[in-house]
Amino acid sequence: MEKVRVRFAPSPTGPLHMGGVRTALFNYLFARKHDGSMILRIEDTDQNRYVEGAEEYIMEALAWCGIEIDEGIQEGEEFGPYRQSERSNLYSRYANTLIENGWAYVAFDTPESLQSLREKAESKKETFTYDHKTRHQLDNSLNIGMEAAQKRIDNGDAYVVRFEMPESKTLNIRDIIRGDMHFNSGNLDDKVLFKSDGLPTYHLANIVDDHLMEITHVIRGEEWLPSLPLHVMLYHALGWSTPEFAHLPLILKPTGKGKLSKRDGDKMGFPVFPVEWKTKAGDVFQGYRENGYYPEAFVNMLALLGWNPGTEKELFSMDELITHFDLDKVNKAGARFDPEKAKWFNHQYLIRQSNHDITEEFMPMLKKKGYQPDMDTLTTIVSLVKERVSFVSELWEQTDFFFEAPSEYHQKFRKKAVKNDTPEILQSIRDILAAQDDFSSANLENKVKTWIENNELGFGKVMNPLRLALVGEGKGPHVFDILEILGKEESLKRIDVLLENIQDS
């Protein structure tokens, strides 16, 4: 196989949505798997849609995900420049070749005249299309002749170049994911290739650049499928061979209905952007990074949106993804995004972090709250509760009682824990604990359990009030571990507070 060269070609029209990141990821995995090159090309020919900061955002998001670029606006230059606005002098040549070869024509129709044609059609419940049925009644070089057209161009009349889509041609196109597809050119319109502002449209620039950059595989979102016949026609018209194509399935809303849109995250309470995006107007869109996701978890989750490894294995490092990934195993059907599954992935990555690393992330959060436990104690606390959280930020909720004695008791749990004989039991446990020099979890467990057995009591009768005293509610790790960490003095204090509280009520 020739050297694989793939490209991720975003338009800097705003932040990169997770669907875009997935496209970049699949390109990257494919490139790495085949020892190929990953190219980042910025498609910024539509100046009206250019959004400041979008390019930087794209680079930052890809870097956060660990998607490395071999050639792009900052790397490599053999096939550059990699920003289409810096290649603008390159495209008109190809538009002219197409005109000369009878594949394209010059059109002078003004936006106003086209708008009025659209409205006229709409009033008859029809749609206006610039195509083989209408092109001969419109203001273009097919009707007035190229000579007259050239005169108008020289006079400064605004014009565009349109592709002359054949009236009826069957196109058989193979897509790695979708297999063989057939299109009839008669249903397609005469797309604009070159605009009055002297810049190419996406279609022309994309084809020219893919050819000049020697792209071997075009891997992109399903939304580009309708453009595929035009692109293939353009390759033929320019006498170039086509790259291979792979159109990735859509990412669907959690309901399974409809494409996941940029606005869904805020509506449904999960991020759709890899990293946070702030608009000029001051709106903030949540990012996975800022929401506490590990990039590895985010990437792992994304990889499985549409790709089926064919086994039960769900956790993949980037290297494993590179080894196992295959475009043949990408589904055609849309992939439903499940925000709960995204959290599950983060949980899996979190519990695999070392306790030390999690503690280092957690410590600054505690410091902000005014606590400064020693590293060893906090590492132990983290080890006890990490199985219960998906994000480091959730650790506080699971550990607050280690730092603050309960200020009140959870009503329902108090009812369950406190019975008539509770004061007596709790007092006995207090005495046992007070008598221990060895305040280790194992020793305390041993002593308390022996006492429970000797008195033939139910375990809950003792453990529930004890937990209530220490934690204030039913949550938390093993009670004896909590005792050990709190230490004798603090534990006894909390038991006394509960005893007093019971007596007062």
In one-letter notation, the amino acid at residue 156 is G
Residue 9 lies near ligand GLU (rule: CB under 6 A)? yes
Closest CB 131 distance from ligand GLU, rounded Å: 22
| CB closer to ligand GLU, 43 vs 264 | 43
Q: Please, what is the Cα angle at 406 between 486 and 466, to 5 degrees? A: 60
Q: What is the CA radius of gyration of the chain?
A: 33
Minimum CB separation of residue 64 from ligand GLU in Å reads: 20
Pairing status of strand 277-278 against strand 284-285? antiparallel
Considering only the stretches 7-15, 61-69, 287-295, 430-438, report the one whose residues sit in contact with ligand GLU under the rule CB under 6 A.
Answer: 7-15
Number of residues assigned to the chain: 505
d(Cα 120, Cα 123) in Å, to the nearest integer? Answer: 5
Number of C-beta neighbours around residue 100 at 10 A? 10
Residue selected from 4, 5, 10, 27 as contacting ligand GLU according to rule CB under 6 A: 10
Report if residue 45 touches ligand GLU, rule: CB under 6 A: no
Look at residues 7, 6, 24 and name the one whose alpha carbon lies nearest to residue 63: 24
Shortest CB 83 distance to ligand GLU, Å? 12
Neighbouring-strand partners of residue 162: 105, 192
Q: Is 43 in the site for ligand GLU (CB under 6 A)?
A: yes
**How many angstroms separate the CA atoms of 173 and 181, rounded?**
5
Segment near ligand GLU (CB under 6 A); pick from 4-12, 122-130, 261-269, 387-395: 4-12
Distance CA 215, CA 496 (A): 74
CB of 9 to ligand GLU, least distance (A): 4
Q: Single out the residue of 488, 29, 492 nearest to residue 248, CA to CA.
A: 29
Q: Which residues contact 297 (CB under 8 A, 6 or more apart)?
A: 342, 345, 346, 348, 349, 350
State in angstroms the smallest separation of the CB of 59 from ligand GLU: 15
Please choose, out of 9-17, 141-149, 170-178, 402-410, the segment that lies near ligand GLU by the rule CB under 6 A: 9-17
Q: Could you say which residues in the range 326-355 bind ligand GLU, by CB under 6 A?
A: none
- Our CB check for ligand GLU shows the closer of 83 and 220 to be 220
220 contacts ligand GLU (rule: CB under 6 A): yes
User: How many residues touch ligand GLU (CB under 6 A)?
Assistant: 8
Q: Give the x-and-dash track for 106-135 against ligand GLU (CB under 6 A).
A: ------------------------------
Tell whether residue 15 is a contact of ligand GLU (CB under 6 A).
Answer: no
Toward ligand GLU, which CB reaches closer, 79 or 224?
Answer: 224
Candidate list 262, 341, 447, 488, residue with the active-site label: 262
224 binds ligand GLU (CB under 6 A): yes
Is residue 464 within 8 Å of 416, Cβ to Cβ?
yes
Strand residue runs (E) in 21-149: 37-40, 104-107
The number of helices, as runs of H, and strands, as runs of E, in the chain is: 20, 13
Q: Which of 157, 223, 213 shows the shortest CA–CA distance to 11?
A: 223
Is position 141 an interface residue for ligand GLU (rule: CB under 6 A)? no
Choose, by CB under 6 A, the member of 5, 6, 11, 25 that binds ligand GLU: 11
CB of 203 to ligand GLU, least distance (A): 9
- Please give the backbone phi and psi of residue 248, each rounded to the nearest 5 degrees, phi first: -75, 145
139 vs 209, beta carbon nearer ligand GLU: 209
Please say if 125 is a catalytic residue.
no
Q: How many CA atoms lie within 13 A of 479 on its CB side?
A: 24
Q: Which residues of 248-257 are buried (b: 16+ CB within 10 A; e: fewer)?
A: bbbbbbeeee
Residue 67 · residue 24 · CB < 8 Å: yes
Of 6-14, 101-109, 250-258, 353-361, which part binds ligand GLU (CB under 6 A)? 6-14
Query: Residue 465 and residue 502: Cα distance in Å, rounded?
Result: 11
> In the stretch 153-192, what mask flags binding to ligand GLU with x, by CB under 6 A?
----------------------------------------
Contact mark string toward ligand GLU, 190..209, x via CB under 6 A = ------------x---x---
Instruction: Return residues touching ligand GLU (CB under 6 A).
Output: 9-11, 43, 202, 206, 220, 224
Residues labelled catalytic? 262
